[in-house]
Every structure is written in structure tokens, then in C-alpha cells.
Structure 1
Amino acid sequence: MTPAAPAVRTPSRSVQAVGFVLALLAGAGQAQLPAPVAPPRPAREPGAAPAITETAPARLDAADLAAFVDGAVEAYRRRVGLAGVSVAVVDAQGPLLLRGYGFAGLEPERPVDERSLFRIGSVSKTFTYLQALKLADAGKLRLDAPANDYLPPALRLPEDGYAPVLVWHLMTHTAGFEDSALGHLFAATPQASLPLNDYLQRHRPARVREPGTHAVYSNYSVALLGAVLAQVEGVGFEALLERDLFQPLGMHDSGFREPLDAGDPRSAPAALQALRSAGFARKDGGFESKGFEYIAQIGPAGAVSSSASDMAKYLRMLLNRGRLDGREILPPGVFQRLEDDPLVRNAPDATGFAHGFFRKRYGEVTSLEHGGATLYFHSNLVVLPELGFGVFVSTNTDIGRQFAAELPGLLIERYFARARTPAAAAAPADFAATAQAYAGSYLGERRTYTTFEKMLISSNAEIRVGKDHLVLSANGDSTRWLPEKPDVFRAERGPGRLVFLRDGSGRIGGFVSPGGHDVFDRAGFFDSSQNVLLLLGLSALSAVGVLFGLWQRRRQPRRPGAAVASARWLGLAAAAWLVFAGTFAVAFAQLAGDEALALFHYPTPLLRVALWLALPALLLSLLCLPLLWPAWRSRDWNAWRKLRHTAAVAVFLATGWGLWVWNAVGWKL
């Protein structure tokens, strides 16, 4: 589950589907980042958003709003191809638009309406965050206490050389976990959907940085926060959120429950099945209905299903600081924290977190928002308390990310002058020359560090310099960024900020992603998985050349000696590289060609075999290194053969180092 802005990042389409869930945009060295603000609650920091107010502006023309949204949806459905869309637009007084578009099911075709249930992905996290704030306000949970104080023994984080993880770190993505998704983030069947505590124990990621260093998006952290909340209240997580949020809000169709096996305490009522929208994949000019996406095993991070009608109530409650239709849903202290506590930011001008909610600037105003994605649903929730305006949008199609990301901004730009993107200042005349310091390759820190999954879900980004702007290329998309102040660039349109980070020597060491939830470090040659795959291809070609040369010389008389041994060992290494490269290519093609293998059945048996076959290739290549000396001393070899022999060893060793960096060896799977 991921914010809607970036998506799921890999060489293959099937693994890119996971990129929708993970948000991926090469680090020779990590940038030095300012530490996020600590959890206490002083007065609002300078430059922070003004307090949420209850003053409601004049209501928008609902008919004009409906006509605009109808046109926008129709345009995207025709241009991109969306099966169905669910939209709620509200102000503090009530709904302005509740509408469904397209279809929620095929055979028979069911239209989307305001009660159709869509999967909202990581928007679910906002309910988890608010529940944590409610318990903190009631004195049942201390945000600055170690998470282990509230966890059962089996889930407590082990001593691993890092400082304790605080509850607050889990809410702000600053616990320091690596990221992981393949084979466990989604489940293909109800039987494969583990209980939350079992999942958290079995799939615990390694911690790779000190907690509180900076924010890097983590589904695991929010799932662990859900376990904390359940332990504190002694109630199952799903029942807890129903008791404290969904039922008081009147969101009777919504919740974290899924259609699991009978007897599973997390299972949803059968009556809701008729309301659920299917998820669709765009295929051959039409739509293919896909199976249910089980997320209960990591439910607090993304399992909610909801409708436009129910999400409208949630939006109104947020706009009214915890009250809905005269009833108190959340105590004022919850919203006091959202308003007054300093934002957690990876840099002063970067997008920040208000206890898990993203806080973005739209012109003169600031939002509370969160995006979300599953494999086939893309959602976005944006609340502008200063304007008394909120939007929820969700699509049920795998290619719906762009529409979900863009619709709230289109509405904000159309109806609120204060929230429009101001005109950009002219770039300095020498911009193209001075901005070269930002150009280069970068590797995102939201990745796996300890296993081969790193090669499949890591994301590289490229910064190029234009005449008066920067171009950020990542995930197959390119965007323009205009200079705003030193090391800070704003999106050509919209609320995004691209903030560069300098290391201790004053050089550009990385940047904060526009969403604020990832950091990209300067990348060296081996920090690009594409470069390593190119090296592997070069090794295969070199291996063919080595074996062909041995075959050509098979009948030539040889004098015994170390040079002959060097040639034979190189031949063995070449054969090992060919076997590995061939097996690896087939295993990789399997993952690329079958989405289910990558998402639900990773790692495949063939991939296991392939990565263990890397070991003999690596060891034999290392053995060839000391044998270079006798090869160069041989009088039977001419200089050209010695150079070819050395080049082959160098290519094998370079490839081996690249595979090691990317964990492409058996025991690191």
C-alpha cells in the first residue's frame, strides 16, 4: 500500500504492479539529513500551517461542481480506460457530490453507485493514526514510549544495535525498517492471509537506520502500530476500529474486514459482498475482472473497503475537528496534536507528516491527505481545513493511479484562488550551468537492503538539467521542477516540492522525494540494477568467447604449467557463469510474465536454484584472480591472449561484485 503520487519501479510489468503498493522512484554515500522533530508538543513551528478553523466559507455551486467532475471522469475514462470511479466531495456542512461512474462488476454488469465498496489501500492508515491519537489523548498510550512496552513478547523488536523504536516512530515512518513486499504483502486466498501477529513475526524486516533519522515509508510500521493498539485495548484490531471510529461515524458499510473463511474473526459480513466492486485490469482494449486482494495479514496498513457515501462522513468529521452532525467522534485533543505538533520532515521545505497524515501546500493553504493503492484500486483523500473542503476519489482499475492523484488538484485549482499555484519566478540566467550540481543518478532508500528483493523493488531516479528547470525521471515518467530557492524546486503545477540535501562537505548527496516519504541518495555505477544486469549479459558473452577459444585450441599441444591451469579454471568459471545467467534469465522471465508468481508465490523454486548457482560462478571467478600472474608470465601466450584472459576475469569479478551488492546469491534470497 502506498501514497497515490508515486507508483508500486522495476524492469517488469508484473513487479511494477507491486510498485503501486510500495512507492519507488544509487547511493555511494548517504546524504546527511536533519533529524525529524521529536515528539513533544511545543507551540507551532515558524512557517507551519495555520490552525484548523471551523469558519465555513460560502458553499460551492453543487451543480457546477457535478458538471465539472462528470466531465473530468468522462474524459479520463475515454482517454485512459477506467472501469469504475467513486467520488465524494464535501464541505464542512455536508456533501456536495456523491457519485459513482462506470461499473463495479461484469457478468452481470453492476453500476458503481455511492454505496459501492472500493479498496482504499493506504488511506486506511489514517484511521489507524487517529485511533492511536485517541488512545494517546485518553492517557492509554504514550507516543514517546518504546513500542515494545505495548507489544506482546512474540512481537517485541529485538536488540539489534539501534535505539528503541518509539510508538511515535511507527506513526511517522521513522522506525528505520527496510521495505519488503513480494510474496507476502498481498495474499491470493483467504487461507494465505495470516493473522496480524503471525504476519508481523514471520515477515519482520531488518532495521537499517537509527529510528528518528528520517522518514522512509513503511507498511510494516503501521501494521505494528495496529498490533500496539489492539494490545492496549485488549480487542481485535478490526473490532476496535469499528467500535471507536466506523460505528460512531455511521460508516456502517466500511471497515478493515475482508471476505475470509467462516470462523475467521476478521471476516466481513456476507451482506456486504453485493456492495463490493471487483478490481479490473485494462487488457486488449477492455477490462478483465480480477480476484479479491487480501490484505488482512497487514490490515492496519491498508485493508479498508469503503464507499463514497461513507467516506463523505469521514471527510466532514475531519473538516469539523472530530465532530459530525453535532456528535463528538474524536476528542479535541486529537486535532490539537494535528494542528500544533511540529511536522516531521526530512528537510525544512519538504512535504511533512502530521502524525501520519501528509501535509502539503496548495498555494497559501495546507492539506491533510493520504493516497493509497492496491493492485487494482487507486485512491486519494485530500482535506483542506482552511477552506472547509474535502475530496475522496477511488478507481477500480489498475491504470487509475493518475486520475486518483489528479482529480483533487483539479478541483482545488478551479474553485479556490488561494490554493492555486502561483506564477514561477524567472530562473537565473546561469541556471543551466549552476544546476549541474543536481544532475545525476539517485537510488531510493525505500527498498530491501538484505535480500534479493532489492533488485526487484528498488527504484532509481535520474535528474537532468534543462534551460530553466530540472527534469526528474523515475518509474517510466518524467516531471519538470522549477527553482524556488537554493536546493528547493517546486512542481511546474501542484503542491510538490523537490528538496536536495547536502552532505558534510557541502556537495549534493541526495534529495527528498516530492511526497516527503522517501530519500534518494547519490548512486554509483553498482547502485543501478540495470547496470548489473548489463554486466551479467556481458559476462555471458565473455563466457561464450572463453569457451569458444578453448574449443578452438582443443587439439593444440600444450605444455604443462600454471598458465594452462589458469585457462582451464577460467573455462570452468565461464561455464558456471553461462549456467547461472541462463537459469537466472529464465527465472526472471517467469516473474516478468506472471504477475501472480511475483506477488503471491515469490520466491519461485527456479529463482532459488538460480541464486544458488551464482555461488560457484563467484568462487571460480575469485580463484581465477591469483592465477592471472602465471598467465601473464607465460611465454606461450601472446599479449592479445593475455589481455583477453584478463578482461574476462575482470568482467566476471565485476559482475560478481554487482550481484553481491544486489544480494543475488542463494542465502540472501
Structure 2
Amino acid sequence: MTMFKLRPLLLAGLMCCAGVASGQEAPARMETPTMAGIGEGPSAPEPSQRLDAAELEAYVDGVVEAYMKRLGIAGVTVAVVDARGPLLLRGYGIATQKAVPGRVRADATLFRIGSVSKTFTYLEALKLIDAGRLDLDAPVNDYLPEDLALADDGYPPVRIRHLLTHTAGYEDSALGHLFARSPQEALSLHDYVLRHRPRRVREPGLHAVYSNYSLALLGAVLANVSGVPFEALMERELFEPMGMDVTTFREPLGEDDERTASAWLRDMWSEGFKRTQGGFEKQDFEYIAQLAPAGSASSTSVDMARYMRMLLGRGELDGKRILPASAFARLQGEPLFRTAPQATGFAYGFFRKRYGDVRSLEHGGATLYFHSNMVVVPELGFGVFVSTNTDTGVRLAAELPGLLLERYFPAARSDPPQMPAADEGEALAPYLGAYLGERRNYTRSEKLLLSTVVEVGATAGGHLTLSAGGETSRWARLSDDVFASVEGPGRLVFLRDGAGRVSGFVSPGGHDVFDRAGAFEVPGRLYALLALAGLAAVGVLAGAWLRRRRRCADAGGRSSVRWLAFTALAWLLFLALFATAFVQISAAGDAAIFEYPSTLLRVALWAALPALLLTLASVALLWRAWRSKAFGLWRKLRHTLALTAFVLAGYGVWVWNMVGWKL
């Protein structure tokens, strides 16, 4: 899945159980830790040769230990394989904080792998498609029990292929249900799919926009078609045949839950940690059983090495056929979907990312505290899995596979982009501006919390820049509307509307589309409007106080002023409650993800209703102020300007669903 972290307003991206491009996109920019050994490495081995395991071990040790020290990561597990077998299986750091801290063991420490879990769900779907038990182009409703059937909501039917390519058209929703704090809160897959169905907001097959709910639906389809609970199905069809002895979708849920993990597994889980005050603070277990097909799996690097070897063996492991050759041919063929011809595509759920002249099968993932990444390149016979158990581990998980590919395989190295031409800066003008990600909520108040805005700019040297979350990356033009990352692999592909204007771009991972943001679709502008409304409210009430002993002779003007004062009071109340709720959410940190919506936030958003209604009433009475002979022109203008501030803020509140009934 893709995991989310609270950010200064409310969230700084949640992504699950959350997975980011490649399941997990690297930050916009990375300053590589200084360490011996990073840089150009030996040439790629001939097919008959293997990498030098000792040299590989020394290099990976140096990279991992440097990242751990610089970024503050408690524990890491790594597997590196080629088609013949493991090259490196290693654990680093601690898995538990006990009297005697438990060390990470490659064979016996379970890490939460987040959205890497999806790849198992995808493979089982691919097997059923290849066997003719699922039709790629059949409506999903053909394979769901009647009570889970998707309603006809004005869009064409969702088909199986849409669940495999994140193109079903669902809005994003995560707060309050993506993770559960206790086993008692972990719904069954059936109940989750039924209770937490997000709205469809675009036609299926239009854009790839990452969707955890689509994977929950796919898991429900697999369970219904096979007649076996999802967790048991994965064990029977994938984990047991591959000899992945401890990998599981199960969690420690209690003896009365059929999905619970075996007792002997319970001491194998790594704890999740939060980097705090120079140390590591143990966090509670993250329950994802309700959304198991999208992200509840746990594994070791030894088991993940077997999985990657099966993929490198094109469906075969140790002489045993796991995935039919015909099914693997589908997987390694052309992607099922790309939002644009040169964008990263999806091959039956796996990301097909380009490294130089080769393409991967990969997926990343994260929970609140674990970050994982798996990159397999069949063309090179090489695979890497890495997982970290600390909230600071995203960079290491995202970047280690790429470092190894670039070091050992010239074919995986991208040519540096050419320097921009002298006049390139002028040609970049159509691309500049603010863009809003389609991976957001559209119909509820989560919209403000889950939205991502990217600013596209340009350097004096003619590079395009992408800025978000305090990070900036540079991009050089490859061809019309296509840009290559200056710092590493990755392509940025812009989209145009029917009139030929730049309307958006496809994210480098291919799993989201960013549309040009309208005037009211940038959170910063909303906050500016709310601040303006607050200032206007203070001004209105201050003026009313100063004139409290002067009675207006005009009854119409008097009523207009009175209603404007009531409107100002309502806005101040709403703004005070909303600001307090914001401070509370920020102080709660990760806990806010479980507890959303808080009681205070509910009260704050319901308080928006009287502010909106009173604003409408004041607009209706504005003509009385302008007809009043007791008011001078300057007073009428002040009255109108204050009311204009309330109207603009009210429109912003409405656009961002900041009203109580949209919680």
C-alpha cells in the first residue's frame, strides 16, 4: 500500500499499508550519504559469471550502515539474488527493544512489507486469468457475492483489468480505517469492502491513480472465486509451493479470529520504531487485516529471496513450476496500461520501471513505521529486496536497489540528460504552475488532508523543477512533453487537453496524475482566504464595538450591519475551532490517523454551517447597506469588502468539503 505521514496541516502524504510509485517513490531529491565505495563499480558480469559475493557484501554493508547512521534507522533486512540463488541475505540493527535488544535476522525476523503484499495478490489473479477462471475484461460484479456488487453509478462497469492497473476510478480514502489500532477494530475483508467503499470519480480506464481499495476488491474476488479465505488461499497457492515458510498475510488477532497468525510466529515480528530525540521509540502493532490483499503481509529477507528467484526463473523455483510459463509471459510483456505512451506502466499490478536499457518488475510499500522495496530485473537476472523498521527509512528502501543496479550493470545506467539549450527556458513556460494530484479524496473532508500539490518551475539554466514537501528535483527535456530526471532514473510525462494546452502530468511512477490546480485548489490559497476572513471578522466586530453608542437612523442599513456582525462572529467561532482542531491533530501525530475524525474536528466542521448560512443572509441584505443614506461611500465599501472576504472563504470551505456532513 502507500503510507501516509501527518504533515503540518493535517497529513504529509498517507500512502499503505500505503505503497508509493514503484510502490514507493524516492523523495524528490536525495543527498547521498558520504561513504566509501559509492560510485562506479565493476562491469556487469557475463551471463556465465556471478557477482563477487564478498565485494557485494562489503558494498551493501557500507551503504546500509551509512544510511542507518545518518538517517537514524533501527533495523534493516536485505536480500540480493541472481537467477542461481542468493548473493546476500543480511539483517542489520535491532528488531526489538528488550532488556537484551533483539538483532535483525535474515531468516527469522518478520518485517511488514506494506504494498509489496499486493504483488502476491496480483500473481494469484494472474494465475486465475491464465487458467481461464477470471476474464480480464469481465465486470468485477461477475465475481463478487451479491451484497458486495458495485452499484451502477453512472460510469461504465469496473472490470478485472481495472483492479490490476489502478484504473477503476476510485477517489482515495484512508483516515480512520486504513489501519486499525487493535484486533477488535480489524474488520473482515468482506465488511471492509462493504463499509468503506469510496466514490468513483472518473471513468474506468482513463488514468492510473493508485488505489488500495481496488486491491481489497481484487482480494474479495479471489476469495469468492476460489471459495477459500484470502489468507489461506495465499498460503496454499503461493507461500507453501515457494517454500516461503514464515511469510504470512496473517496478524496476531486473537484465538477467536480465523485470520490470526500461528503462535510460533508471534515472537518473530520486528517492532516498528519512531525516531525520537536521537533514539528509537517502540510503536504499537499496525493492524491491516481488514485490507489484507493490499498490504498486511510480513516476510523475511530469506523468504523474499525465494520469491525473487521465482520471478527471475520466470515462474519456476528449484525445478518446481509456481507460475505457468504462459502467465509469466503475460507479466513480462507490454504493460496492461500506461496513462501516456512514455509513462511508467503496470504489468498485472507490478510497476515496469525503466533503468537505462532494461525494465523491472517491482513494487514498494510502507506502513507508518516500515518501508520496503522489491526490484527484480529478469533481463539482468538480478533482484533486490530491502525493508526498514523505522519511520525514517524511506530513502534507504527507495534508493538501495537503484544504487546496486547502477553499480553492477552498465545496461541499467541512464545516460545523463543533455544540457538544455540556451533558449530552453522560454519553451518551458507552458508547463509552469501548480498541479494537484488525482490521488485524493473528492467528496469528503479528507480532501484537504490527502491532497498533494506540486509546483512546477524552471531554473535559469533551462531545467524544469518539481517542488513538493520541501524537496525539489530537476528535469531535462527528452522530447515534446517528456522530461528525464537529472539526478537519476525516471521520466516525467506531461498531458495536453483537446485544445493542445498542458493540462497535467503523469507521476514518474506512473501511479498518479497531477492536474493543473484551479485558483481554489491549492491548500495554501485556502488558508490565505481563511486568514483574510478572520481579519475581516475582527475588523467588522471592532467597528461594531466602536459604533456601539451610535444608533443608525436607517432601519435597513441597521439590519444589514447587524447581520454582518453575526456573520463575523460565526466565522471567528469556526476559525477558532478549526485552528484548535488542527493543533490537536498535529500534536496527536500518527495517532490522528487512527482516531480520525476527532470530536473537536467534527464540532469545527459543523460550525462552518452557520458561517456559510449567515454569509448568504448577509449577501441577500447587502442592498440595504448600499441604499442606506446614513452610510457614506467608504463605509459601504468596507462593508462590501468584508462580505467579499467571507464569500471567498465560504467558497473555499465548500470546495474543500470542510463542512460537518462531509466528514
Same fold (TM over 0.5): yes
Alpha-carbon offset, residue 13 of structure 1: 7.7
Range with greater deviation from structure 2 (85-94 or 534-543): 534-543
Alpha-carbon offset, residue 493 of structure 1: 3.2
Q: Distance in 2 between matches of 1:644 and 1:23?
A: 50
Contact 1:253 1:306 in 2 (8 A): yes
Contact 2:113 2:297 in 1 (8 A): yes
State the one-letter code of the partner of 1:15: L
The superposition leaves residues 566-601 of structure 1 with CA deviations (integer Å, 9 ceiling, x where unpaired) of 100000000000111111111121111103542111
2:287 corresponds to 1:274: no
Matches within 5 A, 1:361-376: 361-376=354-369
Alpha-carbon offset, residue 630 of structure 1: 2.2
The superposition leaves residues 21-69 of structure 1 with CA deviations (integer Å, 9 ceiling, x where unpaired) of 55789xxxxxxxxxxxxxxxxxxxxxxxxxxxxx945210000100000
State the one-letter code of the partner of 2:614: L
Alpha-carbon offset, residue 635 of structure 1: 2.3
| Structure 1 residue ranges without an equivalent (≥5) | 26-54
Contact 2:173 2:440 in 1 (8 A): yes
Task: Number of aligned residue pairs: give it.
Answer: 636
Q: Secondary structure at the match of 2:323?
A: coil
The superposition leaves residues 140-168 of structure 1 with CA deviations (integer Å, 9 ceiling, x where unpaired) of 11111111011011111011011111011
Alpha-carbon offset, residue 626 of structure 1: 2.6
State the one-letter code of the partner of 1:451: R
Q: Which residue of 2 aligns with 1:15?
A: 11
Q: Distance in 2 between matches of 1:566 and 1:256?
A: 63
Q: Distance in 2 between matches of 1:324 and 1:560?
A: 89
Matches within 5 A, 1:51-450: 56-108=47-99, 109-115=101-107, 116-450=109-443
Contact 2:83 2:312 in 1 (8 A): yes
The 1:257/1:306 distance shift into structure 2, 3 A limit, reads same
Alpha-carbon offset, residue 475 of structure 1: 2.6
Superposed CA RMSD in Å reads 1.5
Q: Secondary structure at the match of 1:96?
A: strand
Alpha-carbon offset, residue 339 of structure 1: 2.4
Q: Which residue of 1 aligns with 2:557?
A: 563
The superposition leaves residues 537-583 of structure 1 with CA deviations (integer Å, 9 ceiling, x where unpaired) of 22112111101110110001321421111100000000000111111
TM-score between the two structures when normalised by the length of structure 2: 0.94
Q: Which residue of 1 aligns with 2:547?
A: 553
Alpha-carbon offset, residue 10 of structure 1: 6.2
Alpha-carbon offset, residue 185 of structure 1: 0.1
Contact 1:9 1:457 in 2 (8 A): no
TM-score between the two structures when normalised by the length of structure 1: 0.93
Alpha-carbon offset, residue 430 of structure 1: 0.8
Higher RCO (C-alpha under 8 Å, 6+ residues apart) = 1
Q: Distance in 2 between matches of 1:114 and 1:14?
A: 36
Q: Which residue of 1 aligns with 2:576?
A: 582
Q: Distance in 2 between matches of 1:174 and 1:351?
A: 14
Q: Distance in 2 between matches of 1:10 and 1:306?
A: 26
Q: Distance in 2 between matches of 1:337 and 1:201?
A: 31
Range with greater deviation from structure 2 (483-492 or 634-643): 634-643
Contact 1:56 1:92 in 2 (8 A): no
The superposition leaves residues 194-250 of structure 1 with CA deviations (integer Å, 9 ceiling, x where unpaired) of 000001100000001111111100000011100000000000000000000000111
The superposition leaves residues 56-112 of structure 1 with CA deviations (integer Å, 9 ceiling, x where unpaired) of 452100001000000001111111110000000000000000000000000230000
Contact 2:175 2:446 in 1 (8 A): yes
Q: Which residue of 2 aligns with 1:474?
A: 468
4+ residue segments displaced more than 3 Å: 19-25
Range with greater deviation from structure 2 (556-565 or 9-18): 9-18
The 1:343/1:148 distance shift into structure 2, 3 A limit, reads closer
Q: Which residue of 1 aligns with 2:531?
A: 537
Contact 1:10 1:458 in 2 (8 A): no
Q: Distance in 2 between matches of 1:372 and 1:213?
A: 24
The superposition leaves residues 436-478 of structure 1 with CA deviations (integer Å, 9 ceiling, x where unpaired) of 1111000000000000000001110100111221110123321
Alpha-carbon offset, residue 178 of structure 1: 0.5
Q: Secondary structure at the match of 1:414?
A: helix
Q: Which residue of 1 aligns with 2:603?
A: 609
| Structure 2 residue ranges without an equivalent (≥5) | 22-45
Q: Which residue of 1 aligns with 2:586?
A: 592
Alpha-carbon offset, residue 17 of structure 1: 6.5
Alpha-carbon offset, residue 342 of structure 1: 4.2
Q: Secondary structure at the match of 2:428?
A: helix
Q: Distance in 1 between matches of 2:621 and 2:20?
A: 43
Q: Which residue of 1 aligns with 2:41?
A: none
Range with greater deviation from structure 2 (334-343 or 261-270): 334-343
